[in-house]
């Protein structure tokens, strides 16, 4: 059974220590030596105690990227939000604002992943000029600027747009009215990262530079 969380642990965490803790969990996952594994029993849920998450991870709905598992996290440790290609809307932004403002979470991670289907659909839509119908069009429209910036006709548009879309999402969150102040003060960090489907590794994206 996982240990009961330390009530004081959340208060002591900083953006730097929160990021280190999250990436350490991914290393355990990749090495096949998780601490928590897939302990999803009711007993594990009860043992989680009060909610004291140290990070919120915004990721994609892709079924191959279960966020708690790839970071080796247990109940109560991280908040997870998943949308197609981590697209932001007001509900997502409000949820992140709540977690940061009310729960004191010091780290927001935007996690993209290789071979993202939603980004691939956006690339195809811009190349063909055929915009999908329904609410899927909203998702495609939110990804489209990243595709346009890297060039829809570029042979590597798909992987390049995945990275650019992560960086654009990070920039949007850092500029959010309720997040910008804590970010500037160093109380909260918003970082972008990429998950490799082949290896299971999570790599932080550089702040600026070419999409490689």
Rounded to whole angstroms, the Cα distance separating 86 from 61 reads 8
Strand-pair partners of 79 = 56
Task: Please tell me the distance from the alpha carbon of residue 75 to that of residue 2, in angstroms, as a whole number.
Answer: 9
What's the rounded mean pLDDT across residues 78-95? 98
| Distances in whole angstroms, Cα of residue 71 to Cα of each of 118, 122, 147, 157, 176 | 23, 28, 28, 28, 26
Rounded to whole angstroms, the Cα distance separating 121 from 128 reads 10
Q: How long, in residues, is the chain? A: 212
| 6 compared with 13, residue with greater pLDDT | 13
Q: How far is CA 189 from the centre of its chain?
A: 13
Going by C-alpha positions, the residue among 162, 187, 194, 183 that lies closest to residue 57 is 194
pTM metric for this prediction: 0.88
H or E element in which residue 101 lies: helix 90-103
53, 76 contact by CB (below 8 A): yes
- Residue 75: pLDDT over 90: no
Is residue 3 pLDDT above 50, yes or no?
A: no
pLDDT at 8: 38
For residues 18 and 201, what is the distance between their CA atoms, to the nearest angstrom?
Answer: 18
Q: What pLDDT is recorded for position 35?
A: 81
């Amino acid at each position: 059974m996982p240990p009961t969380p330390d009530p004081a642990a959340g208060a002591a965490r900083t953006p730097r220590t929160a990021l280190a803790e999250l990436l350490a969990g991914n290393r355990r996952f990749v090495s096949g030596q998780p601490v928590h594994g897939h302990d999803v029993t009711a007993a594990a849920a009860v043992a989680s105690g009060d909610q004291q998450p140290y990070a919120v991870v915004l990721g994609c709905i892709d079924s191959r990227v279960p966020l708690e598992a790839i970071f080796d996290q247990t109940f109560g440790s991280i908040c997870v939000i998943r949308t197609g290609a981590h697209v932001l809307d007001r509900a997502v932004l409000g949820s992140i604002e709540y977690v940061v403002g009310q729960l004191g979470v010091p780290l927001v991670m935007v996690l993209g992943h290789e071979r993202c289907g939603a980004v691939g659909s956006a690339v195809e839509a811009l190349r063909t000029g055929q915009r999908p119908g329904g609410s899927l069009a909203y998702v495609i429209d939110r990804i489209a600027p990243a595709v346009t910036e890297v060039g829809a006709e570029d042979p590597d548009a798909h992987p390049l747009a995945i990275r650019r879309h992560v960086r654009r999402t990070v920039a949007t969150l850092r500029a959010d009215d309720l997040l910008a102040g804590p970010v500037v003060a160093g109380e909260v960090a918003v970082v972008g990262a990429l998950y490799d489907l082949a290896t299971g590794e999570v790599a932080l994206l550089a702040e600026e530079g070419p999409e490689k």
